[in-house]
Amino acid sequence: MPLPKISELFEELKGASVYSTLDLKSAFNSLRLREDHAHKLAFSWNNVQYVPIGTPFGLKHVSSVMQRTMSIALENMPFARCFIDDIVVASTSIEEHKLHLKAVINKLTKVNLKLNPDKCKFFQNKINLLGFRISPKGVSLDVRKVANVQDFPVPKTGKDIMRYCGLINYFRPLIPKASTLLAPLDALRNEKSLEKIWNSKHQTCFDNLKKVLLEGTILAYPDLNRPFCVATDASNVGVGVVLYQ
């Protein structure tokens, strides 16, 4: 089963004001291996051979299997959403949230999935999820994840550029004019060395992208009762489309 799009996952949390994030204990290990295939993952240590019962980390399709397992477990619960083993329960009131949490925990217990209480957060008015902060106002950046970008050193090779652009692209929905800002750096991704190429234009671009992430932009949830407008623009280095209200 493919993983859900993060943007769609966030959109499904629209309208909520109370959140809880649930973390499963040894989530992947909770997935039982078929007995006729478990021997393929056998290993030896200290002259003893062991055969795992649960699914270990590192198997190619384990994330998809976990996603499918959780989607089935939380079926018919529109107030609960999951991304692999990260579960979010979202409600419009505290009283409603109590009922939603009870339903989710009961269902997880029924399918033999246990929670890690030390990593669960209950009855929050905002949560950090997958590098973003979710609140009734909308979606913004998780400042803890932005630190990875702020600490990134000045690139010295094209591969460094690719890594930096990869970090930036993850937060792209919250960066206005992202294509234009990234264009000068993106043009360097195939260069082996930047020692003789890097100039003030590239440095300014590199620094500006870091500054943009510190501005605290919030991507608000759309109001489906209001009209939408579309604005388009293009240049030699990018094409942009904005849907706004």
23-41 tens-digit pLDDT: 999 888 888 888 888 888 8
Shared domain check, 154 and 114 = no
- CATH number at 210 reads 3.30.70.270
Q: Is residue 122 part of a domain?
A: yes
Shared domain check, 63 and 89 = yes
Shared domain check, 37 and 79 = yes
Q: What is the pLDDT of residue 147?
A: 83
Q: Is the pLDDT of residue 216 over 80?
A: no
- The sign of the torsion formed by the CA atoms of 54, 4, 238, 178 equals negative
Q: Is residue 195 part of a domain?
A: yes
Q: Is residue 68 part of a domain?
A: yes
Q: Radius of gyration (Cα) for the chain, nearest Å?
A: 22
Number of domains in the chain: 2
Model confidence at 109, pLDDT cuts 50, 70, 90, reads very high
The percent of residues in the chain predicted with pLDDT above 70, rounded, is 100
H/E run at residue 16: none
Distance CA 91, CA 148 (A): 31
Q: Which of 106, 136, 166 is the last residue of a domain?
A: 136
Q: 189-216: b or e for each residue (b if 16 or more CB lie within 10 Å)?
A: bebeebeeebeeebeebbeebeebbeee
Q: Is residue 224 part of a domain?
A: no
Q: What is the pLDDT of residue 208?
A: 92
Q: What is the pLDDT of residue 107?
A: 95
Q: Is residue 116 part of a domain?
A: yes
Q: Is residue 240 part of a domain?
A: no
Q: pLDDT digit string (tens) for 110-161?
A: 998 999 999 999 999 999 999 899 999 999 998 888 888 888 999 999 999 9
pTM of the model: 0.80
For residue 231, what are the β-bridge partners? 242
Q: pLDDT digit string (tens) for 217-241?
A: 888 888 889 999 999 988 887 788 8
Among left, alpha and beta (phi > 0; psi -120 to 50; other), residue 145 is alpha
Burial zone of 115 (CB within 10 Å; 0-12 exposed, 13-18 middle, 19+ buried): middle
Distance CA 192, CA 156 (A): 9
Q: Is the pLDDT of residue 1 over 80?
A: no
Q: What is the pLDDT of residue 105?
A: 96
Q: Is residue 145 part of a domain?
A: yes
Shared domain check, 167 and 69 = no
* Domain range enclosing 152: 141-219
Average pLDDT, the chain: 91
